[in-house]
């Protein structure tokens, strides 16, 4: 089932400016009024106009710093009034939403632990009903695209149309250099389904460490995402939360300057002709691939019949493992990755087993 969302693009919310990336920056947590103001000034000075700061912090262990609470909203209000920036913070409950509305927060976001919880999402959606405040929904901690879409649907049904998403990666037990698994595949899928929806990446929570911020931000831009939410702190090493991943405003400025932004398309005549010719070649190859697959499935069907006549089971695991191993080594010799050929052959093999099963059931 297609889940329709009625969405107003981020460029029409009145505070993001193009060209890409639309940028949201600010500390993981608001800590003191001075830290909030100093960081905001540093960012505002080079053209960041949307400020983030966590006020209520979802921490792993009780007893860690859990945010300054409502007093932080007063500091954000000061950022608005003195610097003219737009401000946003994370909400996880009805109470948070009502406080944000009361203090004139311009935009809110829902964190990864909260978007994974339909009860909380519904509570937040109900509390927001009747407002038109923009809401950004981070991906749930687990790589579940439907859960992410469901969270957006709840907000949309409550009448909120200024909706966007923040991809911050997924919890994983695999040993990877980053704090969270980028799992870009899910982001691309969501982007493809809702191309009009403001799409941010959060390289900070994905990376967990400063050194990876540049490459992850570049990746997000190469995938054509609209913006970045980056954690920035006037004194990162002394931050009360997420110290290892925060950047000074100056370092963020440098990161943004180093980004290479490629356009999603080009109006240039020569480009159009060149790309059309290349795409035509791809179309012919895809057509041939389809015919080959059709022929291959025809042979699978014949094999199915033959096995049935001779009372032989469909799946011979040894044969499949051998076939896959052969394909992997031949593909690698042609410059095709083991991962890619394994995914392709597994899909073909699954379909082939299904075709043979159909023969058996007839
Ligand atoms: C945050 O943005 O500070 C935060 C807690 O992020 P996440 O929900 O992505 O972990
Ligand atoms: Mn953080």
Atom of ligand 1 at shortest range from CA of 111 = 8
| Ligand lying nearest the CA atom of residue 208 | 2
Check if 112 has its Cβ closer than 6 Å to any atom of ligand 1. yes
Q: Is position 43 within any domain?
A: yes
How many structural domains comprise the chain? 2
Q: Which of 111, 114, 124, 231 to mutate to test the pocket of ligand 1 (most atoms within 8 A of CB)?
A: 111
Q: How many CB atoms lie within 10 A of CB 3?
A: 12
24 lines ligand 1 (CB under 6 A): no
Q: How far apart are CA 37 and CA 60, in angstroms?
A: 27
Count other Cβ atoms within 10 Å, centred on residue 37. Answer: 16
Is 182 a domain residue? yes
Domain identity same for 293 and 249: no
Contact 206, 178 (CB under 8 A): yes
Q: Which of 9, 2, 63 is nearest to 227 (CA)?
A: 9
168 pocket-lining for ligand 1 (C-beta < 6 Å): yes
Q: Tens digit of pLDDT per residue, the chain (362 long)?
A: 578 999 999 999 998 988 899 999 999 999 999 999 999 999 999 999 999 999 999 999 999 999 999 999 999 999 999 999 999 999 999 999 999 999 999 999 999 999 999 999 999 999 999 999 999 999 999 999 999 999 999 999 999 999 999 999 999 999 999 999 999 999 999 999 999 999 999 999 999 999 999 999 999 999 999 999 999 999 999 999 999 999 999 999 999 999 999 887 778 888 888 888 898 899 889 999 999 999 999 999 999 999 889 998 888 888 999 999 999 999 999 999 999 999 999 999 999 999 988 887 87
Residue 253 and residue 314 in one domain: no
Q: Is the CB of 253 under 6 A from ligand 1?
A: no
Q: Reduced to 3 states, what is the DSSP secondary structure of residue 91?
A: strand
For residue 221, give its domain range.
10-258
| Boundary of a domain, candidates 258, 292, 327 | 258
Instruction: Give yes or no: residues 163 and 296 share one domain.
Output: no
Write the DSSP assignment of 162-229 as a string of letters: -EEEEE--B--SS--SSSSB--HHHHHHHHHH-TTSEEEE-HHHHHSSGGGHHHHHHHHHHTT--EEE
Would you say residue 263 lies in a domain? no
DSSP notation for 288-340: HHHHHHHHHHHHHHHHHHHHHHTT--S--HHHHHHHHHHHHHHHHHTT--HHH
Domain assignment of residue 347, yes or no: yes
- HSE of 184, CA atoms in CB hemisphere, 13 A: 11
Burial (CB < 10 A; 0-12, 13-18, 19+), residue 284, is exposed
Task: Clarify whether residues 153 and 293 are in a common domain.
Answer: no
Please indicate, yes or no, whether residues 347 and 199 belong to a single structural domain of this protein. no
Residues 273 and 237 in one domain: no
Claim to verify: residue 231 and residue 273 sit in the same structural domain? no
Buried/exposed code over 63-75 (b: 16+ C-beta within 10 A; e: otherwise): eeeebbeeebbeb
């Amino acid at each position: 089932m297609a889940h329709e969302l009625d969405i107003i693009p981020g460029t029409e919310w009145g505070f993001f400016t193009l060209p890409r990336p639309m940028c949201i920056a600010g500390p993981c947590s608001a800590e003191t009024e001075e830290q909030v103001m100093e960081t905001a000034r540093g960012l505002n000075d080079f053209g960041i106009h949307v400020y983030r700061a966590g006020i209520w912090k979802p921490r792993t262990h009780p007893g860690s710093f859990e945010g300054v609470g409502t007093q932080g909203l007063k500091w954000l209000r000061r950022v608005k009034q003195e610097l003219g920036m737009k401000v946003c913070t994370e909400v996880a409950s009805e109470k948070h939403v009502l406080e944000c509305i009361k203090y004139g927060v311009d935009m809110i976001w829902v964190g990864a632990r909260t978007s994974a919880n339909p009860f909380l999402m519904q509570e937040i959606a109900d509390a927001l009903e009747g407002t038109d405040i923009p809401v950004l929904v981070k991906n749930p901690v687990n790589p579940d695209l439907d859960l992410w879409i469901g969270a957006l649907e709840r907000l949309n049904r409550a009448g909120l149309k200024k909706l966007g998403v923040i991809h911050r990666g997924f919890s994983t037990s695999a040993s990877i250099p980053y704090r969270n698994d980028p799992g870009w595949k899910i982001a691309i899928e969501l982007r493809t389904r809702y191309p009009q929806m403001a799409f941010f990446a959060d390289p900070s929570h994905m990376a967990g460490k400063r050194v990876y911020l540049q490459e992850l931000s570049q990746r997000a831009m190469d995938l054509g995402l609209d913006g970045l939410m980056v954690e920035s702190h006037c004194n990162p090493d002394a931050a009360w939360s997420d110290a290892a991943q925060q950047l000074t405003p100056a370092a963020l400025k440098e990161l943004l300057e180093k980004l290479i932004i490629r356009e999603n398309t080009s109006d240039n005549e020569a480009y159009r002709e060149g790309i059309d010719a290349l795409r035509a070649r791809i179309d012919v190859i895809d057509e041939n691939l389809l015919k080959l697959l059709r022929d291959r499935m025809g042979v699978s069907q014949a094999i199915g019949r033959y096995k049935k006549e001779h009372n032989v089971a469909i799946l011979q695991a040894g044969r499949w493992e051998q076939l896959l191993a052969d394909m992997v080594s031949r593909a690698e010799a042609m410059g095709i990755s083991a991962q890619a050929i394994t995914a392709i052959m597994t899909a073909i093999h699954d379909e082939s087993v299904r075709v043979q099963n159909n023969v058996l059931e007839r």
